[in-house]
Protein backbone atom coordinates (compact mmCIF):
# COMPACT_ATOMS: atom_id res chain seq x y z
CA UNK A 1 0.00 0.00 0.00
CA UNK A 2 2.73 2.35 1.02
CA UNK A 3 4.73 1.57 -2.09
CA UNK A 4 1.75 2.30 -4.27
CA UNK A 5 1.24 5.78 -2.86
CA UNK A 6 4.94 6.52 -3.34
CA UNK A 7 4.57 5.61 -6.99
CA UNK A 8 1.54 7.84 -7.45
CA UNK A 9 3.31 10.88 -6.09
CA UNK A 10 6.51 10.19 -8.02
CA UNK A 11 7.74 11.81 -11.18
CA UNK A 12 7.28 8.55 -13.07
CA UNK A 13 3.59 8.58 -12.40
CA UNK A 14 3.12 11.88 -14.18
CA UNK A 15 5.23 10.65 -17.10
CA UNK A 16 3.22 7.44 -17.39
CA UNK A 17 0.06 9.49 -17.14
CA UNK A 18 1.23 11.68 -20.03
CA UNK A 19 1.95 8.54 -22.08
CA UNK A 20 -1.51 7.13 -21.40
CA UNK A 21 -3.22 10.43 -22.22
CA UNK A 22 -1.18 10.87 -25.41
CA UNK A 23 -2.04 7.34 -26.54
CA UNK A 24 -5.71 7.92 -25.80
CA UNK A 25 -5.85 11.23 -27.66
CA UNK A 26 -4.06 9.91 -30.74
CA UNK A 27 -6.12 6.71 -30.74
CA UNK A 28 -9.40 8.61 -30.73
CA UNK A 29 -8.13 11.22 -33.16
CA UNK A 30 -6.85 8.61 -35.63
CA UNK A 31 -9.98 6.48 -35.16
CA UNK A 32 -8.03 3.52 -33.85
CA UNK A 33 -5.17 3.73 -36.37
CA UNK A 34 -2.77 4.56 -33.55
CA UNK A 35 -2.90 1.15 -31.90
CA UNK A 36 -2.66 -1.15 -34.89
CA UNK A 37 0.33 -3.54 -34.63
CA UNK A 38 2.01 -1.76 -37.52
CA UNK A 39 1.76 1.57 -35.80
CA UNK A 40 3.02 0.18 -32.51
CA UNK A 41 6.01 -1.03 -34.46
CA UNK A 42 6.45 2.50 -35.81
CA UNK A 43 6.49 3.83 -32.30
CA UNK A 44 9.14 1.29 -31.35
CA UNK A 45 11.15 2.14 -34.45
CA UNK A 46 11.01 5.79 -33.54
CA UNK A 47 12.13 4.88 -30.06
CA UNK A 48 15.14 2.95 -31.37
CA UNK A 49 16.99 5.86 -32.97
CA UNK A 50 16.16 8.06 -30.05
CA UNK A 51 17.27 5.58 -27.41
CA UNK A 52 20.97 5.47 -28.32
CA UNK A 53 21.48 9.19 -28.76
CA UNK A 54 19.19 9.72 -25.76
CA UNK A 55 21.37 7.50 -23.52
CA UNK A 56 24.44 9.48 -24.54
CA UNK A 57 22.65 12.79 -23.97
CA UNK A 58 21.32 11.62 -20.61
CA UNK A 59 24.79 10.64 -19.33
CA UNK A 60 26.35 13.87 -20.52
CA UNK A 61 23.57 16.01 -19.12
CA UNK A 62 23.86 14.31 -15.75
CA UNK A 63 27.50 15.35 -15.93
CA UNK A 64 26.35 18.88 -16.74
CA UNK A 65 27.38 19.09 -20.40
CA UNK A 66 26.01 18.21 -23.80
CA UNK A 67 27.08 16.96 -27.19
CA UNK A 68 25.60 18.93 -30.08
CA UNK A 69 27.49 16.84 -32.62
CA UNK A 70 25.65 13.56 -31.94
CA UNK A 71 23.24 13.80 -34.91
CA UNK A 72 25.90 14.67 -37.47
CA UNK A 73 28.31 12.20 -35.90
CA UNK A 74 25.83 9.33 -36.16
CA UNK A 75 25.02 10.16 -39.77
CA UNK A 76 28.71 10.34 -40.56
CA UNK A 77 29.39 6.95 -38.96
CA UNK A 78 26.59 5.49 -41.09
CA UNK A 79 28.22 6.96 -44.19
CA UNK A 80 31.63 5.60 -43.20
CA UNK A 81 30.17 2.15 -42.74
CA UNK A 82 28.38 2.21 -46.09
CA UNK A 83 31.37 3.73 -47.88
CA UNK A 84 33.75 1.04 -46.63
CA UNK A 85 31.37 -1.80 -47.37
CA UNK A 86 30.00 -0.66 -50.73
CA UNK A 87 32.88 1.27 -52.31
CA UNK A 88 35.83 -0.62 -50.86
CA UNK A 89 34.57 -4.14 -50.43
CA UNK A 90 35.11 -4.38 -46.68
CA UNK A 91 32.85 -7.08 -45.16
CA UNK A 92 29.86 -5.28 -43.63
CA UNK A 93 30.45 -6.62 -40.11
CA UNK A 94 33.98 -5.25 -40.11
CA UNK A 95 32.84 -1.99 -41.73
CA UNK A 96 30.37 -1.62 -38.88
CA UNK A 97 33.07 -2.10 -36.27
CA UNK A 98 35.36 0.40 -38.01
CA UNK A 99 32.50 2.93 -38.19
CA UNK A 100 31.86 2.52 -34.47
CA UNK A 101 35.54 3.11 -33.77
CA UNK A 102 35.63 6.19 -36.03
CA UNK A 103 32.54 7.56 -34.27
CA UNK A 104 34.10 6.98 -30.85
CA UNK A 105 37.28 8.71 -32.00
CA UNK A 106 35.24 11.75 -33.03
CA UNK A 107 33.89 11.74 -29.47
CA UNK A 108 37.47 11.62 -28.23
CA UNK A 109 38.32 14.67 -30.36
CA UNK A 110 35.36 16.51 -28.81
CA UNK A 111 36.70 15.63 -25.36
CA UNK A 112 40.21 16.80 -26.28
CA UNK A 113 38.95 20.18 -27.44
CA UNK A 114 36.89 20.57 -24.29
CA UNK A 115 39.47 19.35 -21.76
CA UNK A 116 42.78 20.34 -23.27
CA UNK A 117 41.93 23.51 -25.15
CA UNK A 118 39.13 24.38 -22.69
CA UNK A 119 36.51 25.04 -25.39
CA UNK A 120 32.97 25.38 -24.10
CA UNK A 121 31.29 22.02 -24.89
CA UNK A 122 28.63 23.73 -26.96
CA UNK A 123 31.17 25.35 -29.29
CA UNK A 124 33.46 22.34 -29.57
CA UNK A 125 30.68 19.92 -30.43
CA UNK A 126 28.91 22.36 -32.74
CA UNK A 127 32.14 22.79 -34.71
CA UNK A 128 32.49 19.03 -34.83
CA UNK A 129 28.94 18.77 -36.09
CA UNK A 130 29.69 20.99 -39.13
CA UNK A 131 32.95 19.20 -39.87
CA UNK A 132 31.30 15.79 -39.81
CA UNK A 133 28.34 16.82 -41.88
CA UNK A 134 30.71 18.19 -44.51
CA UNK A 135 32.82 15.05 -44.37
CA UNK A 136 29.64 13.00 -44.76
CA UNK A 137 28.82 14.82 -47.99
CA UNK A 138 32.36 14.22 -49.24
CA UNK A 139 32.16 10.45 -48.90
CA UNK A 140 28.45 9.82 -49.50
CA UNK A 141 27.52 12.76 -51.75
CA UNK A 142 24.07 14.29 -51.51
CA UNK A 143 22.30 11.25 -52.85
CA UNK A 144 23.78 8.85 -50.33
CA UNK A 145 25.13 5.33 -50.65
CA UNK A 146 22.75 2.45 -51.28
CA UNK A 147 23.51 -0.62 -49.18
CA UNK A 148 20.85 -3.07 -50.23
CA UNK A 149 23.26 -5.99 -50.67
CA UNK A 150 24.93 -6.08 -47.25
CA UNK A 151 24.26 -9.20 -45.21
CA UNK A 152 25.11 -8.00 -41.71
CA UNK A 153 23.32 -4.68 -42.01
CA UNK A 154 20.31 -6.36 -43.56
CA UNK A 155 20.17 -8.70 -40.59
CA UNK A 156 20.09 -5.79 -38.15
CA UNK A 157 17.66 -3.79 -40.21
CA UNK A 158 15.20 -6.40 -41.35
CA UNK A 159 15.08 -9.33 -38.94
CA UNK A 160 11.96 -9.37 -36.84
CA UNK A 161 10.91 -11.60 -33.96
CA UNK A 162 7.49 -12.56 -32.61
CA UNK A 163 5.59 -13.01 -35.89
CA UNK A 164 7.40 -10.14 -37.52
CA UNK A 165 6.28 -7.67 -34.89
CA UNK A 166 9.49 -6.86 -33.01
CA UNK A 167 12.48 -5.82 -35.13
CA UNK A 168 15.92 -6.90 -33.88
CA UNK A 169 16.92 -3.26 -33.56
CA UNK A 170 14.21 -2.80 -30.93
CA UNK A 171 15.70 -5.65 -28.93
CA UNK A 172 19.15 -4.06 -29.19
CA UNK A 173 17.72 -0.73 -28.16
CA UNK A 174 15.93 -2.09 -25.10
CA UNK A 175 19.06 -4.01 -24.15
CA UNK A 176 21.09 -0.80 -24.29
CA UNK A 177 18.51 1.10 -22.24
CA UNK A 178 18.53 -1.56 -19.54
CA UNK A 179 22.32 -1.85 -19.44
CA UNK A 180 22.82 1.92 -19.35
CA UNK A 181 20.15 2.21 -16.68
CA UNK A 182 21.81 -0.41 -14.50
CA UNK A 183 25.26 1.13 -14.96
CA UNK A 184 23.88 4.48 -13.92
CA UNK A 185 21.98 3.40 -10.84
CA UNK A 186 23.96 0.46 -9.57
CA UNK A 187 27.65 0.92 -10.32
CA UNK A 188 30.49 3.04 -9.02
CA UNK A 189 30.87 4.54 -12.49
CA UNK A 190 27.24 5.69 -12.53
CA UNK A 191 27.63 7.25 -9.11
CA UNK A 192 30.72 9.07 -10.32
CA UNK A 193 28.66 10.69 -13.08
CA UNK A 194 26.15 12.03 -10.57
CA UNK A 195 28.82 13.26 -8.19
CA UNK A 196 30.96 14.98 -10.80
CA UNK A 197 27.84 16.44 -12.39
CA UNK A 198 26.62 17.70 -9.02
CA UNK A 199 29.85 19.47 -8.08
CA UNK A 200 32.99 18.92 -10.10
CA UNK A 201 35.39 20.71 -7.75
CA UNK A 202 34.12 18.89 -4.68
CA UNK A 203 34.23 15.54 -6.49
CA UNK A 204 37.85 16.14 -7.44
CA UNK A 205 38.78 17.09 -3.88
CA UNK A 206 37.20 13.80 -2.78
CA UNK A 207 39.52 11.86 -5.06
CA UNK A 208 37.36 11.44 -8.16
CA UNK A 209 38.63 12.31 -11.61
CA UNK A 210 36.08 14.45 -13.49
CA UNK A 211 38.41 14.98 -16.43
CA UNK A 212 38.77 11.28 -17.09
CA UNK A 213 35.01 10.92 -16.82
CA UNK A 214 34.51 13.68 -19.36
CA UNK A 215 36.63 11.75 -21.89
CA UNK A 216 34.67 8.57 -21.28
CA UNK A 217 31.32 10.33 -21.65
CA UNK A 218 32.15 12.09 -24.92
CA UNK A 219 33.60 8.91 -26.39
CA UNK A 220 30.49 7.10 -25.22
CA UNK A 221 28.28 9.73 -26.82
CA UNK A 222 30.17 9.31 -30.11
CA UNK A 223 29.85 5.55 -29.88
CA UNK A 224 26.11 5.60 -29.19
CA UNK A 225 25.47 8.13 -31.96
CA UNK A 226 27.34 5.83 -34.34
CA UNK A 227 25.19 2.87 -33.28
CA UNK A 228 22.16 5.03 -34.04
CA UNK A 229 23.54 6.02 -37.43
CA UNK A 230 24.35 2.46 -38.44
CA UNK A 231 20.94 1.16 -37.38
CA UNK A 232 19.34 3.93 -39.38
CA UNK A 233 21.34 2.92 -42.47
CA UNK A 234 20.47 -0.73 -41.94
CA UNK A 235 16.79 0.15 -41.94
CA UNK A 236 16.42 2.63 -44.75
CA UNK A 237 19.19 1.02 -46.85
CA UNK A 238 20.77 4.32 -47.72
CA UNK A 239 23.55 6.20 -45.94
CA UNK A 240 22.89 9.93 -45.93
CA UNK A 241 25.03 12.67 -44.38
CA UNK A 242 21.89 14.23 -42.94
CA UNK A 243 20.24 10.97 -41.87
CA UNK A 244 19.89 11.81 -38.18
CA UNK A 245 19.45 15.54 -38.70
CA UNK A 246 19.47 17.30 -35.37
CA UNK A 247 18.55 14.22 -33.36
CA UNK A 248 20.85 15.33 -30.54
CA UNK A 249 18.22 17.90 -29.58
CA UNK A 250 15.52 15.24 -29.55
CA UNK A 251 17.74 13.24 -27.20
CA UNK A 252 18.21 16.26 -24.97
CA UNK A 253 14.46 16.89 -25.04
CA UNK A 254 13.81 13.32 -23.91
CA UNK A 255 16.27 13.67 -21.04
CA UNK A 256 14.78 17.00 -19.95
CA UNK A 257 11.23 15.65 -20.12
CA UNK A 258 12.41 12.66 -18.10
CA UNK A 259 13.58 14.93 -15.30
CA UNK A 260 17.31 15.30 -15.90
CA UNK A 261 18.23 18.71 -14.53
CA UNK A 262 20.13 21.11 -16.74
CA UNK A 263 23.46 21.60 -15.06
CA UNK A 264 23.70 17.98 -13.97
CA UNK A 265 23.56 15.93 -10.82
CA UNK A 266 20.01 14.65 -10.78
CA UNK A 267 17.69 12.53 -12.89
CA UNK A 268 17.78 8.90 -13.95
CA UNK A 269 17.44 6.45 -16.80
CA UNK A 270 13.86 5.36 -16.10
CA UNK A 271 12.74 8.97 -16.43
CA UNK A 272 14.79 9.35 -19.60
CA UNK A 273 13.35 6.20 -21.16
CA UNK A 274 9.82 7.44 -20.41
CA UNK A 275 10.77 10.78 -21.93
CA UNK A 276 11.94 8.99 -25.07
CA UNK A 277 8.71 7.02 -25.21
CA UNK A 278 6.67 10.21 -24.96
CA UNK A 279 8.57 11.68 -27.90
CA UNK A 280 8.30 8.45 -29.92
CA UNK A 281 4.54 8.29 -29.35
CA UNK A 282 4.17 11.94 -30.13
CA UNK A 283 6.11 11.81 -33.36
CA UNK A 284 4.36 8.68 -34.54
CA UNK A 285 0.99 10.05 -33.48
CA UNK A 286 1.45 13.32 -35.29
CA UNK A 287 2.07 11.55 -38.59
CA UNK A 288 -0.64 8.96 -37.94
CA UNK A 289 -3.33 11.59 -37.61
CA UNK A 290 -2.13 13.03 -40.89
CA UNK A 291 -0.02 16.05 -40.02
CA UNK A 292 2.83 16.93 -42.30
CA UNK A 293 6.09 15.48 -40.90
CA UNK A 294 7.49 18.98 -40.53
CA UNK A 295 5.05 19.54 -37.70
CA UNK A 296 6.89 17.01 -35.57
CA UNK A 297 9.84 19.39 -35.43
CA UNK A 298 7.62 22.19 -34.22
CA UNK A 299 6.08 19.93 -31.60
CA UNK A 300 9.48 18.66 -30.48
CA UNK A 301 10.54 22.24 -29.95
CA UNK A 302 7.43 22.94 -27.95
CA UNK A 303 8.04 19.84 -25.83
CA UNK A 304 11.64 20.87 -25.15
CA UNK A 305 10.46 24.27 -23.97
CA UNK A 306 7.80 22.66 -21.78
CA UNK A 307 10.41 20.33 -20.31
CA UNK A 308 12.74 23.24 -19.59
CA UNK A 309 9.94 25.24 -18.04
CA UNK A 310 9.15 22.33 -15.72
CA UNK A 311 12.86 22.07 -14.87
CA UNK A 312 12.99 25.79 -14.05
CA UNK A 313 9.84 25.65 -11.98
CA UNK A 314 11.06 22.67 -9.94
CA UNK A 315 14.43 24.33 -9.42
CA UNK A 316 12.78 27.50 -8.16
CA UNK A 317 10.42 25.59 -5.90
CA UNK A 318 13.35 23.63 -4.46
CA UNK A 319 15.33 26.79 -3.87
CA UNK A 320 12.41 28.30 -2.00
CA UNK A 321 12.04 25.15 0.06
CA UNK A 322 15.73 25.19 0.96
CA UNK A 323 15.62 28.83 2.04
CA UNK A 324 12.54 28.21 4.14
CA UNK A 325 14.16 25.20 5.79
CA UNK A 326 17.40 26.95 6.52
CA UNK A 327 15.50 29.86 8.06
CA UNK A 328 13.49 27.43 10.14
CA UNK A 329 16.65 25.72 11.43
CA UNK A 330 18.22 29.08 12.20
CA UNK A 331 15.10 30.00 14.13
CA UNK A 332 15.34 26.75 16.07
CA UNK A 333 19.03 27.31 16.82
CA UNK A 334 18.26 30.75 18.13
CA UNK A 335 15.55 29.33 20.39
CA UNK A 336 18.06 26.81 21.69
CA UNK A 337 20.54 29.55 22.51
CA UNK A 338 17.88 31.56 24.32
Phi, psi of 240 (to 5 degrees): -120, 145
Closest distance to another protein from the beta carbon of 334 (Å):
8
**Residues forming the site for another protein (CB under 8 A):** 186-188, 191-192, 194-195, 198-199, 201-209, 261, 265-266, 318, 321-322, 325-327, 329-330, 333, 336-337
How near is the Cβ of 308 to another protein at its closest, in Å?
A: 18
| C-beta closer to another protein: residue 87 or 185 | 185
**C-alpha span between 276 and 310 (Å, rounded):** 17
CB of 109 to another protein, least distance (A): 25
Whole-number minimum distance, CB 226 to another protein, in Å?
25
Residue closer to another protein by CB (options 116, 205) is 205
Q: In terms of CB distance, is 266 or 287 closer to another protein? A: 266
Beta strand spans in 72-164 (E): 145-146, 160-161
Minimum Å distance from CB 211 to another protein?
10
337 CB neighbour count, 10 Å cutoff: 6
Least distance (Å) between residue 9 CB and another protein: 16
Is residue 287 within 8 A of residue 236, CB to CB? The reply is no
With contact defined as beta carbons under 8 Å apart, do 121 and 179 qualify? no
Of 154, 166, 207, the closest CA to residue 44 belongs to 166
Q: Which is nearer to another protein, 293 or 337 (by Cβ)?
A: 337
In the bound state with another protein, the residue whose beta carbon lies nearer, of 118 and 201, is: 201
157: CB partners within 8 A, 6+ apart: 167, 169, 231, 233, 234, 235, 237
**Cβ-based nearer residue to another protein, 39 or 192:** 192
Listed in sequence order, the residues at least 6 apart from 282 whose beta carbon sits closer than 8 Å to its beta carbon are 22, 296, 299, 300, 303
Rounded Cα gap, residues 69 and 60, in angstroms? 13
Amino acid sequence: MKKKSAFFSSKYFSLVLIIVILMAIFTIWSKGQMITPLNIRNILNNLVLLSFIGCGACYLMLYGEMDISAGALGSFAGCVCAYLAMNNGVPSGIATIIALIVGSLCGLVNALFINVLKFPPFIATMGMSYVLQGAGYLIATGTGINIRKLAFLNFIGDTKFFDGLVPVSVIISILFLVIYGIILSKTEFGRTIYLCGGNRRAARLCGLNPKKLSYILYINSGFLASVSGIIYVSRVKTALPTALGSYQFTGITAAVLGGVAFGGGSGNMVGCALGMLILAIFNTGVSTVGFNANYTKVFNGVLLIIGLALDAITARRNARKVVAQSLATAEKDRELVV
